[in-house]
């Protein structure tokens, strides 16, 4: 009997210990997180069945879901007329698609699952009264802004839609409305910033109006290549969007004009460079020609001066040689006559070519040779006057 009681006590104690351990594990176990580290699960807790809302829809579903915040998690029913028609409560968070739990996933993952789900699609939402009230006010402010925009009160409309964005910062429709208003006031850079925000709120890049407004803004900024890319995306998503096709054609025309202008600019620049090079080359050729003329002039002067000096020296040498071979003997009269006739022209030529300031230096031996030449002239005159006598 005692052994049986001990066994029961041990069993009870074991059960108690196991219960405590299980409770401790349940309290301290790690919470599952998404890829960005955010906790999965409901933001408002488990809630009751009254907080949930289910609906079954057929594809295609014209429903507007938005991110919970700019962090990019969960998918909520946006403040939009589309959702009003579907009787979806503003701010409600989508937690299940058919049998797949999507609560806590990123916005892109939820939209991907919604796209792949088979029709009919059973959707389960969890209501959020706080977001519902806030986003309902935002929708009312947006409607006021639209009315002011239609009344051409653009500045007031921009202020109102900006207030709506403060209340509902993840609603891309509000940004698209403000872009249209900013285009009217030609605030293109501000409009482009809103275009960028729409792209952040549309990770799957399926918001056609956002792409079209981005193309329109880029077109006004003169960025035709980027604008053409945006319009091509619109046409890819909706081939029947005629305005986008027309705008794309305008962009291509502008790009052709830019290419032509750029080509003309390059050609003009190249022509200017060619002209500058030709002018520089002409200047270099002219300088080379002047240098060549100067060089030729110097060469001609040197050619003229050098032969004159050489000629003077040559003639002086001839005179010296002729003077040395003069014969004064009376028996060599004929030869002397010839020699005298040759000497006299040379002397005249020498006298004519000599520079006036140069006085030749004659040695005593040269004088002795020249003086007999004068005697030969006298002997010649005497011979002509008297008959020649033989020496025999």
More confident residue, 169 or 365: 169
In the chain, which ranges are continuous DSSP H helix?
2-28, 81-85, 107-116, 129-150, 154-167, 172-184, 188-201, 208-220, 224-237, 242-324, 333-353, 364-385
Q: How confident is the model at residue 26 (pLDDT cuts 50, 70, 90)?
A: low
What is the DSSP track for 119-178?
A: SSEEEEEE--HHHHHHHHHHHHHHHHHHHHHHTT-HHHHHHHHHHHHHH-TT-HHHHHHH
380 pLDDT more than 60 = no
Domains 129-206 and 207-278 share a fold: yes
Instruction: Please report, rounded to a whole number, the percentage of residues in the chain having pLDDT higher than 90.
Output: 54
pLDDT (average), residues 115-125: 94
Do 92 and 77 meet the contact criterion of CB atoms below 8 Å apart? yes
Q: How confident is the model at residue 294 (pLDDT cuts 50, 70, 90)?
A: confident
**Could you tell me the two tokens for 196?**
């960028």
331 pLDDT more than 90 = no
pLDDT at 297: 79
Q: How confident is the model at residue 344 (pLDDT cuts 50, 70, 90)?
A: very low
Q: Place domain 129-206 in its CATH homologous superfamily.
A: Tetratricopeptide repeat domain (1.25.40.10)
pLDDT (average), residues 61-80: 94
**Domain extent listing, the chain:** 49-127, 129-206, 207-278, 317-385
332 pLDDT more than 90 = no
Question: How many residues in the chain?
Answer: 392
298 pLDDT more than 50 = yes
pLDDT at 2: 45
Task: Tell me which residue has tokens 């609906």.
Answer: 55
> What's the predicted TM-score (pTM) here?
0.61
CATH number of 49-127: 2.30.42.10
Which residues, listed in sequence order, are joined to residue 126 by a DSSP beta bridge? 52, 93
101 pLDDT more than 80 = yes
24 pLDDT more than 80 = no
pLDDT at 4: 54
Could you give the 3-state DSSP secondary structure of residue 95? strand
pLDDT, tens digit (0-9, with 9 covering 90-100), for 189-237: 999 999 999 999 999 999 999 999 999 999 999 999 999 999 999 999 9
- Select, from the ranges 142-156, 297-311, 356-370, the one with the highest average predicted confidence (pLDDT): 142-156
**CATH fold of the domain at 207-278:** 1.25.40
- Select, from the ranges 171-185, 268-282, 356-370, the one with the highest average predicted confidence (pLDDT): 171-185
Ranges 2-16, 154-168, 275-289: which has the least confidence? 2-16
Ranges 49-58, 67-76, 351-360: which has the least confidence? 351-360
pLDDT (average), residues 115-140: 95
pLDDT at 313: 53
pLDDT at 22: 67
349 pLDDT more than 60 = no
Q: Output the average pLDDT for the chain.
A: 79
Sign of CA dihedral 184, 190, 193, 194: negative
pLDDT (average), residues 289-314: 69
pLDDT at 307: 53
pLDDT at 49: 67
Q: Which of 338, 339, 348 is nearest to 369 (CA)?
A: 339
More confident residue, 164 or 301: 164
151 pLDDT more than 60 = yes
């Amino acid at each position: 009997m005692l052994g049986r009681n001990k066994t029961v006590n041990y069993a009870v104690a074991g059960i108690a210990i196991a219960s405590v351990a299980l409770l401790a594990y349940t309290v301290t176990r790690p919470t599952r997180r998404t890829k960005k580290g955010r906790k999965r699960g409901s933001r408002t807790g488990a809630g009751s069945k009254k907080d949930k809302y289910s609906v079954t829809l057929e594809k295609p579903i014209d429903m507007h879901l938005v991110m919970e915040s700019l962090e990019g998690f969960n998918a909520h029913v946006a403040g939009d007329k589309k959702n009003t028609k579907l009787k979806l409560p503003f701010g409600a968070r989508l937690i299940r698609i058919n049998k797949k739990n999507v609560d806590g996933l990123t916005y892109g993952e939820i939209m991907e699952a919604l796209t792949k789900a088979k029709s009919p699609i059973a959707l389960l939402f969890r209501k959020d009264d706080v977001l519902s009230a806030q986003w309902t006010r935002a929708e009312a402010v947006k409607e006021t802004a639209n009315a002011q925009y239609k009344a051409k009160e653009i500045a007031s409309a921009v202020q109102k839609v900006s207030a709506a964005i403060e209340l509902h910062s993840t609603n891309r429709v509000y940004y698209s409305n403000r872009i249209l208003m900013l285009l009217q006031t030609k605030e293109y850079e501000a409009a482009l910033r809103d275009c960028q925000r729409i792209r952040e709120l549309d990770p799957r890049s399926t918001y056609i109006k956002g792409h079209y407004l981005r193309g329109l803004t880029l077109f006004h900024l003169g960025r035709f290549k980027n604008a053409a890319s945006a319009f091509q995306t619109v046409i890819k998503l909706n081939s029947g969007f005629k305005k986008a096709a027309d705008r794309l054609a305008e962009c291509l025309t502008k790009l052709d004009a830019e290419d032509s202008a750029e080509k003309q600019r390059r050609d003009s620049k190249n022509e200017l460079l060619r002209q500058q090079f030709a002018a520089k080359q002409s200047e270099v050729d002219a300088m080379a020609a002047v240098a060549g003329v100067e060089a030729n002039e110097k060469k001609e002067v040197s050619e003229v001066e050098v032969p004159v000096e050489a000629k003077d020296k040559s003639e002086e040498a001839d005179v010296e040689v002729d003077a040395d071979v003069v014969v004064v003997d009376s028996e060599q009269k004929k030869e002397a006559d010839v020699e005298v006739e040759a000497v006299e022209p040379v002397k005249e030529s020498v006298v004519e070519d000599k520079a006036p300031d140069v006085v030749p230096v004659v040695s005593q031996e040269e004088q002795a040779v020249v003086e007999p030449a004068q005697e030969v002239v006298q002997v010649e005159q005497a011979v002509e006057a008297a008959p020649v006598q033989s020496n025999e």
